[in-house]
Every structure is written in structure tokens, then in C-alpha cells.
Structure 1
Amino acid sequence: MMDGSVVAATRDSYDALAAEHADVVSSGLDDRPLDRALFAAFADLVRAGGNDSVADVGCGPGRVTILLSRLGLDAFGIDLSPGMLALARRTYPELRFEEGSMLALDLPDASLGGLLAYYSIIHIPWEQRPQLFAEFHRVLAPGGVLMLVFQIGDEQNHRTELFGTPISIHWYRQQPDEVADLLREAGFDLWMTAVREREDTESPPRGYLLAHKSSSTGQ
């Protein structure tokens, strides 16, 4: 399991960012047309399965949760940070946001038609990804759709400052093929793996995975 002090430091760091930089962390995704197009594809796949209940796991200030809702999904957010959740509830009072850990979701088995983790699996240590993906598999109904977005690489690091605010956040970049293999081992079938190349020398490439829980898989 993740060390309790690491979890607390991550939660406190995001609380601080929500309090001090609400205008930055809650900004939209108008500058990411590819991401928005893939959200639309995700929404179409979810609706085709007949269960439009979708969890945005690691939702932060809810900027993606609201986009999923506007695409016609019954979307709600889950996050570790009370501060981020408070910001999300103020900004989007019409949506539901819940506090929780993605490693132990407070959701019934096979209850979701879709689950999105948008740059949120980066805080889970690499060795805990099988546990994480097993939990995602548990809460998705047969045929349920999973979408992951992450930065590509082999690095892990510890960030101590963001936007001038002291923080303590560990992050782990991912390799798409490795993530895809772990998802298959967890009982998912892969639809798509895509890479967006780096935009500049400072930005890493980004990975996008779409998968679904096999309809023949037990709940």
C-alpha cells in the first residue's frame, strides 16, 4: 500500500494548490482539442453500452467531469483532496463529487458504465498498478469503458514546488505498452493506444488508452 505519509502529503499539496491557485487549476481544456475529441469518443462508447454512469477518478477541480456531463453522461468526480473537491463543488454545484482513493473506491461491483483517469494514475507507485487496475475492473460493468491519459516516460520524481507553492508530490510516468499489458492481465480488452508526441523540449509525450471490461468477464 502507499505509505500513509505520502498519501497525506499528496492530499495536503493538492489542498494548497486549490486554495492558492483556484483560477489556474480550474481552467478549462480549450487548448486541448485532441483530448476533448477523445472524451467525445469515450462518451459514445459508454452510451453504446447502455450504462451512462461514469466516474472521473482523480477529478481535481472537476474541469473534465463537467465536460463528460455536457457530453450526456451521468458523470461524477472522485478525488483524494478535500480542497479540490470544495473547489469543484463551488464551480459545478450541479455535479456530484466524492472524497476517496482510487485504490479502494467506495462503489459497488460492476456499477459503472465508464471510468476516466485523466493524469491521475501518475501518483500510484508502479508496483501498485495491478491493484489499481483490478479495482477499476471491479467497479466497471461488463462492457464498461476505461480511459487513461498520462505522461509517457520511465522517470519517477518528487516535486516540491508548483506555481510558487511548496508541495510534496510523487509522480510516476508510464510506458503505454506496459500499461496495456497490465490492463490485459486485469481483464480488460484494449481498443486503442495512442501517443501524442512532445510539443516542445519541456513537454513529454502523452499516452491515451481506451479499453473495456470483457463482456464475458465475471463481475
Structure 2
Amino acid sequence: MSEPSSYLTTTADAYDAVAVLYADLFRDSLAGLPLDRSMIAAFAELVRTTGSGRVADLGCGPGNVAASLRDLGLDVFGVDLSPVMIDLAREAYPDLRFDVGSMDALDLPDGELGGVLSWYSLIHIPPREVPSYLAEFRRVLAPGGHVLLAFFESEGGPVVPFDHKVTTAYRWPLDELAELAAKAGFSEVGRMLREPLEGERFRRGHLLMRAV
């Protein structure tokens, strides 16, 4: 089996196995995270301002962040590798659309979307594959559309794997991920780097970008 198929299968199986527990633990994952919520709110306002179409929550998990985007006035749908996660999202938020799929091969026309959210969903992608994901995000975004990436930051060092509780994940230097996004056709709007809170191990990086 090729590596891309292998890591996608591994990730889907790993999240299927913990989906119910994960959904319960992270149902209110944005509570107590005002800085994180501020980035999501800024993203939502920019998408609403451009009026350029639907928003995809890629790697949506059990759907709680997609529901937050809906509450911020966006026409949002979710995509995730894990069929069990998608079942849980559909059950919890029956008014929203959720589909099983991979972020690097979206069943969407070019320029279809006004926004893409990748909320800690690129973290499981092997680093050399990340440019192809960013290129897919750019393909499905209309010019002027926005993307928001959230990820674990590598303390200024190189990309480094770590022992994520579900399956292998990677921490990224903020500047390096921003450079890859620029090469994929995005211009940076803003960034946020916050220190870990109690119970968190790593700094959190956020990149808000516009499709050019």
C-alpha cells in the first residue's frame, strides 16, 4: 500500500476507535479558549464580508466547531476521514451536512468555497504531503476566500513528530507553514501564537490567509 493510502487508513481507523470518547471530551472544546475563538470569529467575519460562498470544515470530527461556525452565520458543512465521527456529527447536528472524505481530494468544483477551516486536521499529515493539501484548499476556494489553519507549534524548531493520543502527529514552525501556504497561493492576513494552558503540552499556532 502506498504511504498516502496507509496514513489515511491509519488515521481513519484510529479516530473511529476513539470517536465516542473524543466527541464527549471535546464537545465544548472552545470553552475557555478566548484567543482561539477570536481567530474563528475573525475568519467568520471575513467570509461573511466577502460573501463568497459556503465554508468547509475539513477534518470536522464530531462537528462541534462546524456548529460554532453555523452560529456565527456561515453556511458550513463538514468533511472527515472517520465514518464514525461523521455518524456522531450527523446525530448531534442534524441540520448540518457532514460527509466522509479526504481533505486532499474534495468532491468540489474549482473555486466553489468562500472559506476553509482546518482546525488541527493537518497535524496528522506527513510533512512532505502537506503542500498537496494546501494546493487542494486553494483549488476549492474562490479568489478572495479565506482559510484558517490551527496546529501545534514546534517552539521555533523544525517540523517534529509527537505522540498524539490518537495517532502520530506533527508540530510545525509557524513561519514554515506560512511559507508553504504562500507557495500554494495564499497571502497572510494574520497569525496568532499562544502559550499552552494548564493541561496542554505545546504552543498553538493559527494562520489566517486569503486566496489570491
TM-score (norm 2): 0.91
State the distance in 2 between where 1:24 and 1:155 align: 26
The structural deviation recorded for 1:93 is 0.5
Paired position in structure 1 for 2:180: 182
Q: Any unmatched runs of 5+ in structure 1?
A: 215-219
Greater Cα shift, 103-112 or 190-199 = 190-199
* SS, match of residue 55 in structure 1: strand
Gap regions ≥5 residues in structure 2 = none
8 Å Cα contact 2:151-2:206 kept in structure 1: yes
Q: Structure 1: how far apart are the matches of 2:161 and 2:84?
A: 25
In structure 1, what is the Cα distance between the partners aligned to 2:24 and 2:87? 14
Per the TM alignment, residue 193 of structure 1 is displaced from its structure 2 partner at its CA by: 1.8
Residues 1:90 and 1:189: Cα distance change in structure 2 (over 3 Å): same
Once the 2 structures are TM-superposed, how far is the Cα of residue 28 of structure 1 from its aligned partner?
Answer: 4.0
**Distance change >3 Å, CA 196–CA 210, structure 1 → 2:** same
Structure 2: distance between partners of 1:21 and 1:104: 25
> 1:11 maps to what in 2?
12
Q: 1:155 to 1:114 in 2, by over 3 A?
A: same
Contact 1:18 1:25 in 2 (8 A): no
Partner of 2:206: 208
Structure 1 residues 26-59: Cα deviation after superposition (integer angstroms, max 9, x where no partner): 3342121211121111111001111241000000
Partner of residue 217, structure 1: none
Distance 2:59 2:89 in 1: 12
- The amino acid of 2:209's aligned partner reads A
User: Partner residue of 2:71?
Assistant: 70
Q: Match of 1:64, SS?
A: helix
* C-alpha distance in 2 between matches for 1:97 and 1:181: 31
Output the CA distance in 1 between the equivalents of 2:123 and 2:175: 16
Paired letter, 1:179: L
- Offset from partner CA, 1:91-137 (integer Å, 9 cap, x none): 00000001110111111100000000000000111111111111110
Contact map agreement 1:116 1:148 (CA 8 A) in 2: yes
CA RMSD of superposed structures (Å): 1.7
TM norm structure 1: 0.89
Shift of 1:4: 2.4
Q: Is the 8 A contact 1:2 1:125 kept in 2?
A: no
Counterpart CA distance in 2 for 1:76 and 1:145 is 15
Q: 1:198 aligns with which of 176, 196, 199?
A: 196
C-alpha contact 1:103 1:131 (8 A) present in aligned 2: yes
Give the letter aligned to residue 130 of structure 2: R
User: How many aligned positions are there?
Assistant: 207
